Amino acid sequence: MARCNAARNRWIFVAVGLVAATPSLAQSPPGGPGGGPGGPMPGFMRPGSGPLELLPPEVGPAPLPDVVTPYAPSTAPPVETKPLATVAPRETATLSLTARLTPDGPPIGAGVVWRIFGEAQGPDGSRELVAERHGGSADFVLKPGGYFVYCGFGYAGTTEHVVVGTGLKADSIVLNAGGVRLSAVTGKDRPPLNKDDLSFDIFSQELDSHGEPKAVALDVAPGAIVRLPAKTYNVVANYGDANARTTADIDVKAGKLSDITLTEKAAKITLKLVSNEGGEAIADTRWSILTQAGDLVTSGVGAFPSFVLAEGDYTVIANHEDGQFQRIVSVVSGEDADVEVLATDGQKATN
């Protein structure tokens, strides 16, 4: 009994010494895992019959959720910025170009040809082609300096000198141009002539070095839109390959499309050499068509040649083998006709 009391007193002495050495632990609330009569003290070994066990220290308070985490300034170094005045200037510029038919007209959306040439001339006087675009409005990225800008729209075109610096430069080129659409008929209330037999030539009123009107556009098909500078032109309608020609002066107005119809005083005749009226055409016949004054208008070979002739009277001569036959033919405007020449003694040509 005395031995048990001595052991108990010794244990109480050790416990009291440890508590005195750790005053903060004496303030732990009673009960629960933090200490007191109902639980062990954290960080101390539990006495018992088995091996001693070291309890882990109590976990601290959980961190706050992200939504309530207080703001903290960034610890990254500040980004270095430069004043605008110290930024190097751009080495290129953008030239934005639009073309218009008139100063107050809308930009042309298609059909424009742009060519940009350098300002400096080479030894032969030519300038370097810097850029080229086709379509409507166009943007060009260029080095600062002077350039020659060509703007073409059909047969209308102009060249302007521009100077670009840095940044964006916008320029509008005014062509002062319009358009015409040509057709021809052989008389009032008659249908337009077939495009296979008809074409137009357009001439300027200015003269070339030979004293002839300058050709502007040749072999223009009927119905085609021809874009021209606004001024007066001379138009020649060519109907067939012989002598059916009609000329007229036309005015092209800036920003306008004009439909112009010319009247051809002509008709188409189809020839055949026959042994009797309504008979079979004789092949390998050579034909010549002369004016009443004896001037050759046109010629051809075949059994059924066709010719477009201006209104008037003509001598038609057919040559077959050793025979030559002729007939006087009157051409009336708009009245196409089939013409027979009889290979008989009565229509033999006389010298």
CB of 282 closer than 8 Å to CB of 302:
no
In the predicted model, is pLDDT for residue 225 greater than 90?
Answer: yes
Please indicate, yes or no, whether residues 249 and 284 belong to a single structural domain of this protein.
no
Query: Closest Cα partner for 348 from 324, 327, 328?
Result: 324
Structure confidence at residue 346 (pLDDT): 61
Residue 241 is given by DSSP the state T
Structure confidence at residue 218 (pLDDT): 97
Structure confidence at residue 226 (pLDDT): 97
Please indicate, yes or no, whether residues 283 and 334 belong to a single structural domain of this protein.
yes
Give a yes or no: residue 49 inside a domain.
Answer: no
Give a yes or no: residue 15 inside a domain.
Answer: no
Mean pLDDT of the chain: 81
Average pLDDT over residues 237-245: 97
Please indicate, yes or no, whether residues 112 and 185 belong to a single structural domain of this protein.
no
Average pLDDT over residues 184-202: 94
Q: How many domains does the chain have?
A: 3
Structure confidence at residue 344 (pLDDT): 83
Which of the listed residues 230, 264, 298 is the one where a domain comes to its end?
A: 264
Give a yes or no: residue 33 inside a domain.
Answer: no
Please indicate, yes or no, whether residues 135 and 210 belong to a single structural domain of this protein.
no
Average pLDDT over residues 100-118: 96
Segment among 21-35, 131-145, 215-229, 330-344 with least mean pLDDT: 21-35
Give a yes or no: residue 249 inside a domain.
Answer: yes
Please indicate, yes or no, whether residues 237 and 274 belong to a single structural domain of this protein.
no
Please indicate, yes or no, whether residues 289 and 336 belong to a single structural domain of this protein.
yes
In the predicted model, is pLDDT for residue 336 greater than 60?
Answer: yes
pLDDT category, 350, cuts 50, 70, 90?
A: low
Average pLDDT over residues 190-203: 95
Structure confidence at residue 322 (pLDDT): 81
Please indicate, yes or no, whether residues 182 and 160 belong to a single structural domain of this protein.
no
Q: CA-to-CA distance for 350 and 283, rounded, in angstroms?
A: 22
Total-model pTM = 0.69
Long-range contacts of 332-337 (CB under 8 A, 24+ apart): 332/267, 333/186, 333/187, 333/264, 333/265, 333/266, 333/267, 334/186, 334/187, 334/190, 334/267, 335/267, 336/267, 336/268, 336/269, 336/270, 337/267, 337/269, 337/270
In the predicted model, is pLDDT for residue 219 greater than 90?
Answer: yes
Structure confidence at residue 166 (pLDDT): 85
Give a yes or no: residue 83 inside a domain.
Answer: no
Average pLDDT over residues 67-78: 37
In the predicted model, is pLDDT for residue 9 greater than 70?
Answer: no
Average pLDDT over residues 156-183: 95
Please indicate, yes or no, whether residues 309 and 241 belong to a single structural domain of this protein.
no
Structure confidence at residue 32 (pLDDT): 43
Q: What is the CATH number of the domain that holds 149?
A: 2.60.40.10
Residue 1 is given by DSSP the state -
Host domain of residue 133: 93-121+128-174
Structure confidence at residue 69 (pLDDT): 33
Please indicate, yes or no, whether residues 253 and 296 belong to a single structural domain of this protein.
no
CB of 33 closer than 8 Å to CB of 44:
no
Please indicate, yes or no, whether residues 202 and 147 belong to a single structural domain of this protein.
no
Give a yes or no: residue 73 inside a domain.
Answer: no
Q: Which residue reads 């050759």 in tokens?
A: 296
Which of the listed residues 204, 237, 264 is the one where a domain comes to its end?
A: 264
Please indicate, yes or no, whether residues 305 and 242 belong to a single structural domain of this protein.
no
pLDDT digit string, tens, across residues 248-307: 999 999 999 999 999 999 999 999 999 999 999 999 999 999 999 999 999 999 999 999
- The DSSP H or E segment spanning 9 is helix 2-21
pLDDT digit string, tens, across residues 10-67: 444 434 343 344 444 334 444 444 444 444 444 444 444 444 444 444 444 444 344 3
Give a yes or no: residue 207 inside a domain.
Answer: yes
Give a yes or no: residue 110 inside a domain.
Answer: yes
Handedness of CA 143, 147, 150, 151 (dihedral sign): positive
Those residues with Cβ within 8 angstroms of residue 87's Cβ, 6 or more apart along the chain or in another chain: none
Which of the listed residues 109, 144, 174 is the one where a domain comes to its end?
A: 174
In the predicted model, is pLDDT for residue 74 greater than 60?
Answer: no
Please indicate, yes or no, whether residues 164 and 184 belong to a single structural domain of this protein.
no
Structure confidence at residue 92 (pLDDT): 86
3-class DSSP state of 129: strand
